[in-house]
């Protein structure tokens, strides 16, 4: 943790940790405790570091297909299956380079989504019990798939995957204790044919996101833990999109260290190019979407993501002519 003071009298507080220690929820509880102690109010949540309940079973039993963990080309198969080895950054670069990826120029950008756009997307998704995350993430997934496939010169990917973090503390049997200090999140994997994502309405993509979330049960989590016990360090594919709802997980905007609420709070972008963060914009309903994409794809994505089409609706328009006109 580092505090930087400025001549004007303001200051910033920077915090970093290894994800092996804490997930976003546990990190948020740590920061809330720290802020509370700084104000002289004592601990808000007592951390519980006991992780024995998340041990792999003996013998391990993989009972589900775990598309969130994929084999990467370019990595020796023996290394993929050897539980004594780990998957390194050098391996990831080698795998990405073997497919002509990893050497592209990436651009980082913040897309602001105001409350009105959120409402429009939720309406387009069918309203009802559609959450802000489901509507916005599904829209982003469809737009990215369109922009990516448009850049592949007709060689479209058959399937598109979208992953997002799910807190499984209350999904376990029994539930994990309050204040669990560790990693209790799992990647939910929404998967669909690219052609379906490009031809079906937003409600279709939302339904895939919802189905992925429902799959995160006690049995599924146990199976995932056992899968990782057998295949240590197997990462996600570099073509997969990963989204994290930071504004819900780590409420940085609510931290008060004794000087009131922060003027600005959020993460510092990392080199993880397939990682998308939804963070608060300081308003009740708006969000900032922080992401990185290959430079040639980002401009196409931006047009689809923010620019309304016919009848003031957002992509997909279920009209190929409209799709072509906005991309070209």
Which domains are seen in the chain, by residue range?
A: 2-327 (3.30.559.10)
Number of Cβ within 10 Å of residue 167's Cβ equals 17
| Residues 126-149: tens digit of each pLDDT | 877 899 999 999 999 999 988 887
Average pLDDT of the chain?
Answer: 80
Number of other CB atoms surrounding residue 4 within 10 Å:
9
Segment 197-229, tens digit of pLDDT: 888 999 999 999 999 999 999 999 999 999 888
Q: What percent of the chain has pLDDT over 90?
A: 37
- Whole-prediction pTM value? 0.81
Residue pair 96/102 in contact by the 8 Å Cβ criterion: yes
Between residues 69 and 208, which one has the greater pLDDT? 208
pLDDT at 317 (0 to 100): 55
């Amino acid at each position: 943790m580092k505090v930087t003071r400025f001549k004007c009298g303001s200051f910033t507080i920077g915090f970093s940790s290894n994800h092996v220690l804490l997930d976003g929820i546990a990190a948020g509880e740590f920061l809330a405790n720290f802020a509370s102690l700084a104000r002289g109010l004592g601990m808000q949540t007592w951390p519980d570091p006991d992780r024995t309940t998340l041990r792999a079973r003996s013998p391990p039993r993989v009972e589900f297909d775990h598309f969130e963990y994929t084999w990467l080309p370019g990595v020796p198969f023996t290394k993929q299956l050897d539980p004594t080895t780990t998957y390194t950054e050098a391996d990831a670069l080698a795998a990405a380079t073997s497919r002509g990826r990893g050497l592209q120029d990436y651009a980082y950008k913040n897309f602001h989504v105001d409350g009105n756009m959120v409402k429009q997307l939720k309406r387009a998704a069918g309203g009802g019990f559609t959450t802000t995350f489901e509507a916005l993430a599904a829209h982003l997934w469809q737009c990215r798939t369109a922009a990516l496939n448009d850049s592949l010169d007709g060689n479209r990917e058959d399937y598109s995957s979208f992953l997002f973090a799910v807190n499984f503390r209350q999904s376990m049997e029994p539930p994990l204790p309050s204040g669990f200090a560790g990693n209790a999140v799992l990647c939910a994997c929404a998967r669909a044919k690219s052609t379906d994502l490009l031809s079906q309405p937003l409600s279709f993509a939302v339904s895939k996101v919802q189905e992925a979330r429902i799959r995160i049960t006690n049995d599924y989590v146990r199976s995932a833990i056992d899968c990782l016990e057998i295949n240590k360090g197997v990462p996600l594919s570099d073509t997969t999109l990963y989204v994290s709802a930071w504004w819900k997980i780590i409420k940085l905007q609510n931290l008060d260290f004794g000087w009131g609420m922060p003027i600005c709070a959020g993460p510092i972008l990392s080199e993880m190019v397939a990682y998308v963060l939804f963070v608060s914009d300081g308003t009740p309903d708006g969000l900032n979407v922080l992401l990185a994409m290959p430079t040639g794809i980002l401009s196409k994505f931006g047009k689809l993501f923010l620019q309304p089409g016919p009848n003031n609706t957002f992509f997909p328009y279920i009209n190929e002519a409209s799709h072509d006109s906005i991309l070209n």
